[in-house]
Amino acid sequence: MSLSRSAPAALLCVLFLGACQSEQPAESEETEEETPPVPVETSIPVRGDVYAMYTGTAPIEAYAEADVIAKVAGEVRELLIEEGDEVTKGQVLARLDGERLRLELNESEAKLRKLQRDYERNVDLQAKGLISDGDFEKIKYEMEALEAAFNLASLELDYTQIRAPITGVIAERFVKLGNTISEGDALFKVTSLDPLVAYLHVPEREYRNIDPGQPVGIDIDALPGEPIVAAVSRVSPVVDPQTGTFKITVEIVDKQRRIKPGMFGRIGIIYDVHENALQIPRSAIIEDQGVASVFVIEEDRAVRKTIRTGYSNRGMVEVTSGLEDGEQIVTVGQASLKQDSRVSIINEAGNAELAADASEEDGDKQESEDAPSD
């Protein structure tokens, strides 16, 4: 009796469970359809020249620099220049007290004149045979010694005028007016600012890429703005076996004198260029086991495309294949995307403005090309 009553109840349970299971896929499909789109930012590839370069850092140095050393002792009587003044080679920078040396020069000159008169008289005597050859040679040698002493005294007197050994700028002054200096004391430092140089030590694998004359861009933190244009001046013909590097000399001409020796520069040597190359931001690229790809927007969905890249610089990467002009690529939010994910572009207005600006620039360019020339 109890078995007959429980059978209908069991049947009802089986039917209820079957209905529940049949309804579950419908709910899953409805849940999938209701998945919200992923917010992303996008941009459009641009075209421009992209450069291959070797980058490094180095301090800026003076091509030539010299310490001005006192060659004679004396008191500083005149200072004719100051720090920061430009000087030319041979220009007098200061004068020392040369009174003692001037007196010694006068004494040497008087002795030389007396011996010269004696020598002239002995020339006549020697011609007449009235003086031996030995005595005549002795007078001749004494006169030559006095001439050398006179020249030396004249040179030392000239050394009291301190001259610039090179053309440049007075970088430092070590002496004051009235100081008594000794021979060998440093008086000034002269620095040549034309040209300036930077020395890079480059790995030997880059040797075949670097040649004299190649353009160089230099960024200096103290001088923000456009990079400073320079050139490779010399490339060392040998590789240092201890470091595996070779030395490159970069020569910088700065007519405005903005760059100072000691400034630190980030240097890029350009050794190849691809003109009008298709470029995208580095942030848009997804790297997976050495394969580069990007997400492209097609009808509000993200489609993953494999690309090949080339040169890169300043945050932009060249795309050599796999992408076309005008395609909208995801630059922010791609980590949350899968193939065919729905997306919501949060900077679409900005992209439209960029596209309009580009179209307007193309129109202006076409009008200028079509306009008749005067």
**Is residue 298 in some structural domain?**
yes
**Confidence (pLDDT) at 30:** 47
**Residue 352 shares a structural domain with residue 281:** yes
Taking residues 169-179, what's their average pLDDT? 92
Q: What is the enclosing helix (H) or strand (E) of 197?
A: strand 186-203
pTM of the model: 0.59
**Confidence (pLDDT) at 358:** 47
Burial of 327-348, coded b for 16+ CB within 10 Å and e otherwise, reads bbbbbebbeebeeebebebebe
**Is residue 199 in some structural domain?**
yes
**Confidence (pLDDT) at 337:** 87
**Is residue 92 in some structural domain?**
no
**Confidence (pLDDT) at 91:** 94
Q: CB-based contacts of 76: which residues, under 8 Å, 6+ apart?
A: 94, 95, 96, 97, 175, 176, 177, 178, 179, 180, 181
For residue range 203-255, what is the model confidence (pLDDT) as tens digits?
Answer: 999 998 899 999 999 999 888 888 888 999 999 999 999 999 999 999 998 88
Rounded to whole angstroms, the Cα distance separating 209 from 246 reads: 12
**Is residue 367 in some structural domain?**
no
For residue range 5-59, what is the model confidence (pLDDT) as tens digits?
Answer: 444 444 444 444 444 444 444 444 444 456 788 899 999 999 999 888 888 999 9
**Is residue 176 in some structural domain?**
no
Rounded to whole angstroms, the Cα distance separating 66 from 124 reads: 53
**Is residue 133 in some structural domain?**
yes
Q: How many folded domains does the chain comprise? A: 3
For residue range 88-123, what is the model confidence (pLDDT) as tens digits?
Answer: 999 999 999 988 888 888 888 888 888 777 777 777
**Domain boundary residue, one of 251, 273, 295:** 273
**Residue 196 shares a structural domain with residue 149:** no
**Residue 235 shares a structural domain with residue 296:** no
Using pLDDT thresholds of 50, 70 and 90, give the confidence band for residue 144: confident
**Confidence (pLDDT) at 289:** 84
For residue 206, the 8-state DSSP code is G
The CATH number that applies at residue 207 is: 2.40.30.170
**Residue 263 shares a structural domain with residue 282:** no
Give DSSP secondary structure letters for 322-351. S--TT--EEEESGGG--TT-BEEETTHHHH
**Is residue 68 in some structural domain?**
no
Q: Which domain holds residue 342?
A: 38-49+275-359
**Domain boundary residue, one of 114, 141, 159:** 159
**Confidence (pLDDT) at 104:** 84
The CATH number that applies at residue 141 is: 1.10.287
**Is residue 293 in some structural domain?**
yes
**Residue 248 shares a structural domain with residue 308:** no
**With contact defined as beta carbons under 8 Å apart, do 48 and 279 qualify?**
yes
**Residue 291 shares a structural domain with residue 220:** no
**Domain boundary residue, one of 207, 241, 273:** 273
Work out the mean pLDDT of the chain and round it to a whole number.
81
Taking residues 360-366, what's their average pLDDT? 46
